[in-house]
Structure 1
Amino acid sequence: MTIEDGKPTSSHSDAGDTSRGDERDQEKGDGIALPSHVAGSGTLDRLADTARDYAKAATAENTNKAYAADWKHFGRWCRIKGLDLLPPSPEMVGLYLADLAAPVGKAPAITVSTIERRLSGLAWHYQQRGFTLDRKNRHIVTVLAGIKRKHGKPPVQKEAILRDDILAMVATLPQDLRGLRDRAILLIGYAGGLRRSEIVSLDVHKDDTPDSGGWVDITDEGALLTLNAKTGWREVEIGRGSSNQTCPVHALEKWLHFARIDFGPLFVRTSRDGKTALPARLSDKHVVRLIKQTVLDAGIRSDLPEKRRLVLFSGHSLRAGLASSAEIDERYVQKHLGHASAEMTRKYQRRRDRFRVNLTKAAGL
């Protein structure tokens, strides 16, 4: 199998102008506006646009997209039921959550985590419109608690990519320019414990591009990554490896040299023949496709059906792999991954000595 680079809906007449107008407003992303008593001007309108851009940047791009889809879905649901979006109604939201968990007809039920995400999306959009959705209201709290109790399942963790796995994966890549780039992506992502969005958002230097999520400084000792991550700015140190064949810093230098990249995005697209670097920054979806394809090509977890293997591995497999493979004090792994707590780091450790501290024996049993 080759992985290329490259919501149930119902038809119903619109119920009232309020829902339609509000959905048009959300499509504009217009949560920031001038006061009603202030006359617009070129300068003020420009500042309002700037404020909207900053407000949009307050949450990650993928979160913004998810919240926008959630609000659109909720607006469609309200129109079908003949309800208005505004003002917020906890009773109506409770009914919506129940419909998501146990839909009528052929529409599939969605997971509890997605239901919780949609509730967050609704609360966020109401807040942007000057309203407050009381998520602690009993009509929401009790319904959501019942959904969790009846439909909740333990979280499904992505498979960790361990040391031998990553070596087998990079060995499947060709020696052309695209292969050099993808090898650097896998090794830097693995050694840095990076999220897929962090990998592709890197620039060569500070302030190279407006959409930069950080930059890299390469020294004799290794590479220092300065990242604008989910929890704020942080530095990630990637030391040089014991062999050029597996060294992430050497792989990155080789990619930059042969791609002739000295400015702008660190990882860019290549031509179809894989021989020329193009200016466009890679999408984070490429990292997922790359991981899944090389997992298949390397024969990792070949004991499982192909579809199952594709589901098990994702961008988070790199972070989980580093957390599981690095046999050092846990606090160093926590700092490297940028986690606020050791408990979060432990969630990424698929392979660790869970019974190193035996409280049963410590209690005298």
Structure 2
Amino acid sequence: MAADAVSALIAEGESENTVRSYQAALRYWAAWYWLRYAQPIELPMSVAAVQQFIVDHVQRRTSTSLESAMPDAVDQALVQCGVKSKLGPPALSTVQQRLSVLSKVHQLKSLASPMHDPKVRELLAKTRRAYAKRGVTPHKKAALTLEPLQAMLATCDDSLRGVRDRALLLFGWSSGGRRRSEVTAATMENTRKVGQRAYSFTLLHSKTNQTGAARPDSEKPVLDDAADALSAWLRRSGIVSGPIFRRIRRGEKVGEPLAAAAVRDIVRERAALAGLPDDFAAHSLRSGFVTEAARQNISLGETMAMTGHTSPATLVGYFRAAESQRSAAARLFSPSKTGQNSQQTAPDAGDVAGHGD
């Protein structure tokens, strides 16, 4: 049927990570609904059920503490059946993602989404405002800038795993802060050597280029130390075709291609070995590249050409943060400034009288 073909094409067009996150969210919805209402989930979902979901999963301030409406028995059952990792309310971003998935399902089934109801929209807006007033902000993974990256690389020894991890970290970081799915998409067919210490990685499919259209910035350079590390890995591994980054089996044997989640695991493992905080993950490669570019005064346009961002809005925050660190106004009370001021003659009252603030 045409409807089945449409559904299949939509599913095939989604990234693997998106599909997995949708599946996990829908499993959670089904489990929560069954435990809350003692019946299978039904679509379209009622506005009242969505409101109940929200108040079950977010915290509200009471006279003594922060509480949610989730019954303890339901919370424990969700953990026991494996759809929830631990007791207690999830992050607000997790709640919003699950609501977004519910809305998407209604859209795909041509059903009116309860997420568009004014009562739900108002509840969500007020919830976000309440969280902001408490100082709760979205958690972002630490940016892997040059110094922590160098610390991680120092943990990569001459073992096959160490050579691979060094190549992977430098490839993902120096080619523009590649996403984990983009790192594992690198193959011998789309990554070619173009000089003694230079490779070119052709990135046709990404989060911002879902159609795989050829663009002027599709070629991502891998140069100098990153190129050396990649060459060393290819020599040691003997890889001549297919995916570049692969698992290491017992006995220093090269195995199957890495899954995208393995990039996160490698970043976390190397951070731990380097004695770094545990808030680094795969996305730290991307945020770290952008942050370091801002610190080194690389232009916004040149940075976007490397990262593949289609809008400067995402990057502006990184660049403003870097500029604030160099701000002379922020150092008015630095030791050098106060030392200079102490040697100057203090103005008398007449010099400042009559001046406003």
TM-score (norm: length of structure 1): 0.72
Does the CA-based 8 Å contact 1:204-1:263 persist in structure 2?
A: yes
Q: Which residue of 1 aligns with 2:155?
A: 172
1:230 to 184, 188, 207: 207
Aligned-pair identity in percent equals 26
User: What pairs with 1:9-48 in structure 2 (closer than 5 Å)?
Assistant: 33-34=1-2, 48=4
Could you say what secondary structure the match of 1:229 adopts? coil
Q: Which residue of 1 aligns with 2:90?
A: 110
- 1:273 maps to amino acid: G
Q: Could you tell me how far apart the structure 2 residues matched to 1:347 and 1:161 are?
A: 16
2:292 to 310, 313, 325: 325
When residues 291 and 355 of structure 1 are mapped into structure 2, their CA distance, relative to the original with a 3 A threshold, is: closer
1:218 to 178, 193, 205: 193
User: What pairs with 1:112-191 in structure 2 (closer than 5 Å)?
Assistant: 112-152=92-132, 153-191=136-174
- 1:258 maps to amino acid: R
Q: Which residue of 2 aligns with 1:19?
A: none
Could you say what secondary structure the match of 1:203 adopts? coil
2:244 to 249, 263, 266: 266
Q: Could you tell me how far apart the structure 1 residues matched to 2:147 and 2:313 are?
A: 26
TM superposition shift of 1:350: 9.0
Q: Could you tell me how far apart the structure 2 residues matched to 1:179 and 1:324 are?
A: 26
- 2:254 maps to amino acid: A
Does the CA-based 8 Å contact 2:152-2:271 persist in structure 1?
A: yes
Q: Which structure has the greater CA radius of gyration?
A: 2
Q: Deviations over 1:296-355 (max 9, x none)?
A: 22233xxxxxxxx21x11111111221122221122112211112222013455951138
Q: Could you tell me how far apart the structure 2 residues matched to 1:343 and 1:358 are?
A: 25
- 1:139 maps to amino acid: K
1:202 to 149, 168, 186: 186
TM superposition shift of 1:120: 0.9
When residues 119 and 176 of structure 1 are mapped into structure 2, their CA distance, relative to the original with a 3 A threshold, is: same
2:23 to 51, 65, 68: 68
Q: Could you tell me how far apart the structure 2 residues matched to 1:145 and 1:95 are?
A: 16
- Say which is worse superposed, 336-345 or 109-118, in terms of deviation: 336-345
Stretches of structure 1 that go unaligned for 5 or more consecutive residues are: 1-32, 36-47, 206-214, 242-246, 301-308, 360-364
Q: Could you tell me how far apart the structure 1 residues matched to 2:30 and 2:154 are?
A: 49
Does the CA-based 8 Å contact 2:171-2:222 persist in structure 1?
A: no
When residues 355 and 250 of structure 1 are mapped into structure 2, their CA distance, relative to the original with a 3 A threshold, is: closer
TM superposition shift of 1:261: 0.9
- 2:20 maps to amino acid: K
2:306 to 336, 339, 349: 336
- Number of residue pairs matched? 291
Q: Deviations over 1:191-250 (max 9, x none)?
A: 021111211122211xxxxxxxxx212201622222211011452422422xxxxx1111
Stretches of structure 2 that go unaligned for 5 or more consecutive residues are: 59-67, 76-87, 330-356
Q: Could you tell me how far apart the structure 2 residues matched to 1:324 and 1:350 are?
A: 10
- 2:322 maps to amino acid: R
When residues 277 and 98 of structure 1 are mapped into structure 2, their CA distance, relative to the original with a 3 A threshold, is: same
Q: Which residue of 2 aligns with 1:353?
A: 323
Does the CA-based 8 Å contact 1:223-1:249 persist in structure 2?
A: yes
Could you say what secondary structure the match of 2:322 adopts? coil
- 2:56 maps to amino acid: D
Could you say what secondary structure the match of 1:354 adopts? helix
When residues 148 and 259 of structure 1 are mapped into structure 2, their CA distance, relative to the original with a 3 A threshold, is: same
